[in-house]
Amino acid sequence: MSTTFFVLNNNAFGQKTIIHIEKARLANYDERLGIDVQRLIGNVVLRQDSTLFYCDSAYLNDRLRNFEAFGHVHINFNDSLDIYSKKLKYEGETREAELFDSVRMIDKTMLLETNYLIYNRNTKIASYPNNGTITSQDKILKSKKGYYQTDKKEFYFRDDVELISPDNTAYSDTLVYNTELEKAWFHGPTIIRGKDNTIYCEYGWYDTKKDHAYLSHRAKIWSQEQMLESDSLFYDRDNGFGDAQGNVLISDTTNNMLISGDFGKMWELEGRSFVTGKAMARNYDEKDTLFMHADTLFLTFNKKEKQARDLFAYKHVKFFRKDMQGKCDSLVYHMSDSAMRMYIEPVLWSQKNQLTADSIMIAISKNSVDSLVMYNTAFIVSHDSIDNYNQIKGKNMTGYFVDNELKRIFVDGNAQTVYWVREEDKSLIGANLAQASTMLIRLSENEIESITYHSNPNEVMYPEKELPKDSDRLKGFRWLSEWRPETKADIFVIGAREIVNPQAEEQEPVNLQLLNEVGE
C-alpha cells in the first residue's frame, strides 16, 4: 500500500512531529474503536524521524496523535538501541513510549529486562518503577527502581540494588553504573561481599573492570578475624592492597587487639600492614588493656588464615597497663607464643620495680606476665626511701611472675646487690652489699624476702653511717621515673615527664570500657 503520514504541530523542542506508516498488511476503520482511530494489522512498521516501530497490529489515533501497538513490539533507534515488548503506548508529540510485558532494552553495552518501561526520546532517559535486571558483559544489576540515560550509558538505581560480578556481589541503597566504563558509584549504605572479605561504605565508587574501590563515610573492610576501618579507603582487590586515610582502626578478634592511627596501608598478598600518625595498639582482656604507641606499627599475618602473627613497633615506643609500663626504641610482639621483645635502651616498670637491660624478652600467658629474660647489663631498681634504692645487677636475669607480681629473680653472671635491710616496723638496720657469680632472689609484695648466693659469694652488712662513699649506687645505676607513663595519655609523650612528686610510684587503675574506646 502507499505510504500515509500525519503532520502534527510543532513540539516543545521546535521540531515537526511526523509519524509515517511505512508498512501494514491491512488498514481499516471501525467506529467501535473510536472515530479518530485507524486500525493497522499485520507486519506493521511505523516511523518517526529515524526511529522505527514494529508490531503485529496498531491503533493509530489521528486526533490525539498517538498510537498503541500490540504483539512482537520492537522499537529501533538509529540502529544503536532496540526495545522489545508485548505492548506499547506512544505519544508522538512528547516522544514518550510506555512499554508493557516482557520488556527488553538492548544496546551495545547492556540488556535491560523489566515488565514496565517508560522511554523518552527527547531526554533519552528510560525508567522503570518496579524491578529491573541489567546484564552488562559478565555483570548483573538488579533494583526496584532505575533510570538509564542512553546517551551517557549510565544507570541510576534506587532501592535494594544488587550488582553481581564474577568475584563479588554489591548491595546498595543508591547506585550509579556506567556500562561503558564498567564503574559504579555508591550514594548510600553499600556492602560488597567477596570470596575472602567484605567491604562496607556509605559513599564511594567501584571499578568492576580493574577491581578497584574507593570508599568513604564509615568505610570498612573485614575478613573472618580482622577488620580495617577509616574515613576513606582505596582498595585494589586483585593485588590485595589497601590505603586508608583518617581515623584508621584495625581490629583482630583472635588476639584481642586494636590498632589505630591517622594513616595505614595493607598488603594482603604479602601478609603485612602498617599504621602511622598517632599510632596506638590496644591489647585487651576482661581485666585490663595494654596501650602501646610508636611512630609506626607494623602488623604481619598469615596469608591463608588472615590471622595476625607479629606486631612490630618502631621508634619512641611506650606502653601502659596499670600493672606494667615500658619504653624502648623498638618492640616485637610474637602472637604465636605471646612473647614481647624490647630493643635499644628498654625500660620496664612492674609496680615498684624498674628493669633495664640491652634487651628484654617478656613471656605472656593468659593475658598476664609469666616470666621475663633480661640480656646483658641487666639492672633492677626499686625505691627504698627518698634517697635510697634497692638494686640488683648482673649480666643476664630471669624473672618469674605470679598474678603479674615479680616473685623470683635468677641472676646469671657477675651478680651484685645493694639491699637496704629494715626491721618489721620499717626502721633501718643497714645496707647489705653482696656479689656472687649467680644468685636467686625471692620477693614478697615487691620486697626482697631472701637472697641465695651461688659460687664465691661475698656479702657485707653496713650500718648506714659506716657505708663506704658511693657504694650505695652500683655502676650503671639510673632512676628513670620521669620516663614512666602514669596514664595511657603519657604513651604519646616522647620526652620525659615533669615529675611533680618523685615518690609517686603507684599507678591509678584505668576504668576501661572497650566499646567506648573503639568508638573514640
Domain ranges of the chain: 344-474
For cell 653482696, the residue is 434
Q: Pick the range with the lowest mean pLDDT from 124-133, 291-300, 317-326, 362-371.
A: 362-371
Q: What is the mean pLDDT of the chain?
A: 86
Q: How far apart are CA 274 and CA 174, in angstroms?
A: 33
Residue in 280, 251, 248 with CA at minimum distance from that of residue 263: 248
Grid coordinates of 494: 616522647
- Report the alpha-carbon distance of residue 199 to residue 190 in Å, rounded: 8
Quick check: helix, strand or coil at residue 492? helix
Rounded Cα distance, 41 and 272, in Å: 71
Distance CA 80, CA 150 (A): 10
Q: Cell 584495625 belongs to which residue?
A: 250
Average pLDDT over residues 285-299: 89
How does strand 324-334 pair with strand 183-186?
unpaired
131's grid cell: 524491578
Phi-psi region of 182 (alpha: psi -120 to 50; beta: other; left: phi over 0): left
Pick the more confident residue, 509 or 40: 40
Calculate the alpha carbon distances from 98 to 78, 85, 117 in Å.
Answer: 19, 10, 6
Report the run of H or E that residue 172 belongs to, with start and end: strand 168-178
Measured CA to CA, the distance from residue 416 to residue 408 in angstroms comes to: 16
> How far is 321 from 278, CA to CA, in rounded Å?
18
Looking at residue 98, its pLDDT comes to 96
CA distance 13 to 18: 14
Q: What is the pLDDT of residue 303?
A: 67
What is the bridge-based pairing of β-strands 280-284 and 241-252?
unpaired
Those residues with Cβ within 8 angstroms of residue 519's Cβ, 6 or more apart along the chain or in another chain: none
pLDDT digits (tens, 9 = 90+) for 170-189: 999 899 999 889 899 999 89
Cα R_g (the chain), whole angstroms: 39
| pLDDT value of residue 305 | 64
Mean pLDDT, rounded, for 31-39: 79
Q: Which residue has the higher pLDDT, 517 or 457?
A: 457
CA–CA distance from 118 to each of 88, 101, 129 (Å)?
10, 12, 9
Helix/strand/coil for 279 = coil
What's the predicted TM-score (pTM) here?
0.74
CB 69 within 8 A of CB 83: no
pLDDT band of 499, cuts 50, 70, 90: low
CB count, 10 Å around CB of 6?
A: 17
- In a 10 Å sphere around its CB, with 0-12 CB exposed, 13-18 middle and 19+ buried, how is residue 29 labelled? exposed
Mean pLDDT, range 56-72, rounded to an integer: 90
Name the CATH superfamily housing domain 344-474: Lipopolysaccharide (LPS) transport protein A like domain (2.60.450.10)
CA distance linking residue 266 with residue 242, whole number of Å: 5
Res 497: pLDDT:
73
Q: Name the helix (H) or strand (E) containing 517.
A: helix 514-519
Tell which wins on pLDDT, 275 or 518: 275
Q: Could you write out the DSSP letters of every residue in 238-274? A: TTTEEEEEEEEEEEETTTTEEEEEEEEEEETTTTEEE
- Residue 517 above 70 pLDDT? no
Per-residue CA distances from 60 to 70, 227, 294, 491 (Å) = 12, 62, 79, 82
> Can you tell me the distance from the alpha carbon of 399 to that of 472, in angstroms, rounded to the nearest whole number?
23
